[in-house]
Amino acid sequence: MSTFYTRTGDDGTTGLLGEGRLPKYHPRIETLGALDEASAALGLARALASQEGTKSILAEIQRDLYALMAEVAATPENAARFRTLSLARVQWLESQADALEARLPPPKEFILPGDSLPGAAFSLARTIVRRAERRLAELKERGEVENPALLPYLNRLSSLCFLLELSENEAAGQQTTLAKK
């Protein structure tokens, strides 16, 4: 009978997609952890979202994040095999953001998260996506990832999360709370 644990990480290392293991504190593993957290936060937002269209968009994004994680987890000699996220997906995110932006009034100042439960979930997801973006930028700077679509994807995703927060707040009939009094 199989188990849900392998004990292979008990030595403080994690396996890659390919040969080799890295310490669990390695920047590549930190990046994978942040991406995993982003997907989980988006899953929470998807569960709380009041708009069906939003739920399907988020499921697609979560699938994209799994593809992104696979590429980041791949050893350099295997990275091309797992490279599936392209600039076309960045453009898809832009089209989703453009559609929301066309119907939402932009806030004139910084806002406070928490005007609706789904909106707050999107705000949390946005901050986690930003952390994943920072971790990925470090890997790119170190020459450990090459795909030019990865950073723009996360950058657009964080913007989309902000717009989805505004959309959910509007759908809940909530006024946006400004950070400034």
Which stretch of DSSP H or E encloses residue 15?
strand 13-15
The DSSP 8-state label assigned to residue 51 in this structure reads: -
- Rounded CA-CA distance 28/151 in Å is 14
pLDDT exceeding 70 applies to what percent of the chain?
99
Burial zone of 115 (CB within 10 Å; 0-12 exposed, 13-18 middle, 19+ buried)? buried
Which helix (DSSP H) or strand (DSSP E) does residue 21 occupy?
strand 21-23
Structure confidence by residue, pLDDT tens digits, 97-137: 999 999 998 888 898 899 999 999 999 999 999 999 999 99
First to last CA, the chain: 60
pLDDT above 90 as % of the chain: 72
- Going by the DSSP 8-state scheme, the letter that residue 177 receives in this structure is P
Spell out the domains of the chain, with CATH numbers in brackets. Answer: 23-171 (1.20.1200.10)
Q: What is the pLDDT of residue 1?
A: 58
Q: What predicted TM-score, i.e. pTM, was given to this entire model?
A: 0.92
pLDDT in tens, 52-87: 899 999 999 999 999 999 999 998 888 889 999 999
